[in-house]
Amino acid sequence: MTVLVTGCAGFIGMHCARRLLERGEEVLGIDNLSPYTSVELKRDRLKQLEGAKGFSFERLDLADAGALDGVFARAKPASVLHLAAQPGVRYALENPASYIQANLVGFANVLEACRRHPPKHLLYASSSSVYGGNAKLPWAESDNADHPLSLYAATKKSNELMAHTYSHLFGMPTTCLRYFTVYGPWGRPDMSPILFAQAIMEGRPIQVFNHGDMQRDFTYIDDVVEATLGVLGKPATPNPEFDAAVPDPASSSAPWRIYNIGNHQPVGLLDYIAALERALGRKAVKELQPMQPGDVRSTFADTRLLADAVGFSPATPLEEGLARFADWFRRYHGFD
């Protein structure tokens, strides 16, 4: 019973694949090792999986529909965990085409491969960024998410709509996970934990956007893995109470669902920096900057649907999670 994990050399992908292997699953990992972030880091993540019983790897680009279909035909995965994407909010201003290819064309190819070689469940990553200009907090899955503020967010919202269509037309169980600011060991080098930690340890200033007046729902990677794999084991089903006259944005008459994956405890940016300083044992030099295009001031997840579905919602305190991250960061980057 193979689980196909796209983006297995990525941050969340590597951690999920490793946990699946630890519990005895067979995992087929797919990744194109995109140079958007460090290929060396991606290869080091892969080393955490290689050699494990039940793991195999295919390097391919999801935009290559023929190659992807061949993998599905050979592996016949029981479940698909789709985590591959072109990430980042600000990079879309520089290279929008990469988001169209990876997040729209690539996802369409995943849907088509699942249609031709049906797994029991397609679970795919979306993002808290889809809530965009919605100022009502906390964000719940039933809230409006029709005003994205970045191309990245727009592609993720598009994925949700594309998946619903396939669920409706073909009865394909698909579930969307809207992740909220995931952090921890082996994290993405384009996100603030590594960017800030590297600068702090090297004595360089860090850029603090919106003059520090921001909040994020920082969610520790171990919690994300537990929530993700919990949902993976519960294929989406139609909502028997779905009312087409008053449609619920989080469910459907088709086997399609949405869940927030967040810590439901937003932290101010300056408080987060202070916690990171304590974890690293060094002070940061701050450069206050204006808000960046595509960013939002606050994120805050309502996770009641997730807790009802799998009996779990993330709750690791930021201080604890950053301490674990700092230990890994020092070892990996040679600051010990």
**Domains detected in the chain:** 2-180+220-263+300-315 (3.40.50.720)
pLDDT at 63: 97
Q: Averaged over 110-114, what is the pLDDT? A: 98
User: How distant is the alpha carbon of residue 56 from its chain centre?
Assistant: 22
| Per-residue CA distances from 314 to 20, 125, 156, 301, 302 (Å) | 19, 16, 22, 10, 11
DSSP 110: H
Q: Averaged over 273-285, what is the pLDDT? A: 97
Residue 336 has pLDDT above 80, yes or no: no
- Catalytic, out of 152, 179, 183, 272: 152
pTM, two decimals, is 0.96
Q: Convert the pLDDT of each residue in 175-222 to its tens digit.
A: 999 999 999 999 999 999 999 999 999 999 999 999 999 999 999 999
Strands 2-6 and 256-261, bridge-based pairing: unpaired
Residue 320 has pLDDT above 90, yes or no: yes
pLDDT at 15: 98
Q: Convert the pLDDT of each residue in 26-46 to its tens digit.
A: 999 999 999 999 999 999 999
Exposure on the CB side of residue 56, measured as CA atoms within 13 A: 11
Residues 6+ apart with CB under 8 A from 41: 186, 189
pLDDT at 133: 85
- Work out the pLDDT band at 295, boundaries 50, 70, 90: confident
- Work out the pLDDT band at 260, boundaries 50, 70, 90: very high
- Work out the pLDDT band at 90, boundaries 50, 70, 90: confident
| Per-residue CA distances from 65 to 101, 116, 173, 276 (Å) | 12, 12, 21, 42
DSSP 298: B
* Cα 132 from Cα 154, distance rounded (Å): 9
pLDDT at 67: 98
Residue 294 has pLDDT above 90, yes or no: no
pLDDT at 1: 85
152 classed as catalytic = yes
